[in-house]
Amino acid sequence: MFEFRPLPTPSCSIHPLLSLIFISTLLSAIQLSLSIPHKPHLGSNLVLIGDAKLTNNSSFIRLTDPTISSPSAGLIVHKRPIRLSSPTSKSKRPVSFSTDFTFSISPHNGDGLAFLIAPRTFQSTFSGERFGLSKENRFLGVEFDTSVDENVGDLNANHVGLDIGSLASVKTSNVSSIGLDLKSGVKLHSWIDYDSSSKRIEVRLSKFGIARPYSPLLVYKVDLGEMWRSEEVVVGLSSSTGNSMQTSSVYSWNFRTREVPQWLHSQPLNPRAFSREKLAQKRKICALGFISGLVFLTGCGALLALVVMFLWALFENGSETVLTIPGKCTVHSGDFRYEKINVVVGDGTPDAKK
């Protein structure tokens, strides 16, 4: 499948530690070579089931084989199963995921392609019928459907649908509304994101090479952690032809999971109750702020009044203040008056006294 040419052996002797580093570097180079240009960006952690196979030029994976007479179906799954509710010693932290892949579907009226999450036993029960799900009743699928099946209420032959345990979609969206045709043979790019905090799955779709759309094509609320709890599940891409010559090809696929910290889930389930509680808290804070401001202003007013009274008393009593100098007499302007006194000097005789 992939050709690796051995590196020339060095002529000089190499220290054992350097040899170990050299071997590690070589293994890393081999691992990186799986994603070199013009090769499928699919990694090595995949299993091909059914009619899925790597093409001769190794540029993409073809899920269905139009050359066989019976209905064809193929599946790609990751080797490592995942848990959508991570078990811990105290609680089970929910797991979110994001995946994106590029694909194309030939212009025939086949079943199309689907992104699937199913129990681990799904690999052994995979069949050639509708996305290989005829023997599975516990799954989540995002179908890119190119046919109309009246038994499951398909919208049209060009829609995206969300399937939960049944091929009758719980929600569908018309791909023609964004100007795309699933079975045009053109390479398309899809993004599927699940947020465990809001329990919301979003599906986006665009032509390959176009930036990721801001608005999702399909949105639905579902608790995947509650659906499987701590059970291990596999993720995959599946396709089936039905009775047509349709071929589905996958050019790249990325899948990532992330655990959501428990503290992000402290908000209540009822957003109205949360809003009322938050409003009540705001009112309490405003009331405390008003009371604190009132007390502060009252204290400032009282202090200002004391200062004014002190200054008034100081200037009012200043006009009646008597300056007393030690060793000096206190003199007031109205304390003295002048009187005329007659003095008679006699000679000592009685008559004179008269």
Mean pLDDT confidence for 29-55: 60
At residue 87, the pLDDT reads 64
Highest mean pLDDT among 74-88, 153-167, 325-339: 153-167
pLDDT at 27 over 80: no
- Say if residue 66 is exposed, middle or buried (CB neighbours under 10 Å; 0-12, 13-18, 19+): middle
Mean pLDDT confidence for 317-346: 53
Cα Rg for the chain, rounded, in angstroms?
Answer: 47
* pLDDT tens column, 223-251: 998 888 888 999 999 999 878 888 999 99
Two tokens at 58? 């190794």
The whole model's pTM is what?
A: 0.63
Contact criterion met (CB below 8 Å) for 139 and 231: no
Question: Who's near 154: CB < 8 A, 6+ residues apart?
Answer: 145, 147, 148, 161, 169, 172
Q: Which residue has the higher pLDDT, 239 or 2?
A: 239
A 10 A CB-CB count for 194 gives 22
Q: Where are the alpha helices (DSSP H) in the chain?
A: 16-32, 122-125, 224-228, 271-318, 350-353
Q: Where are the beta strands (DSSP E) in the chain?
A: 46-50, 53-54, 61-62, 73-78, 82-83, 85-87, 92-105, 112-119, 140-145, 159-164, 171-174, 188-195, 200-207, 218-221, 232-240, 248-259
Question: Who's near 277: CB < 8 A, 6+ residues apart?
Answer: 268
CA distance 296 to 289: 10
At residue 201, the pLDDT reads 96
* pLDDT tens column, 138-174: 899 999 999 888 888 888 899 999 999 998 999 999 9
pLDDT at 353 over 50: no
CA distance 59 to 42: 10
At residue 169, the pLDDT reads 92
CA of 72: how far to CAs of 15, 53, 82, 190, in Å? 55, 12, 27, 23
At 265, which amino acid appears? H
Question: Who's near 224: CB < 8 A, 6+ residues apart?
Answer: 84, 117, 140, 194, 196, 199, 201
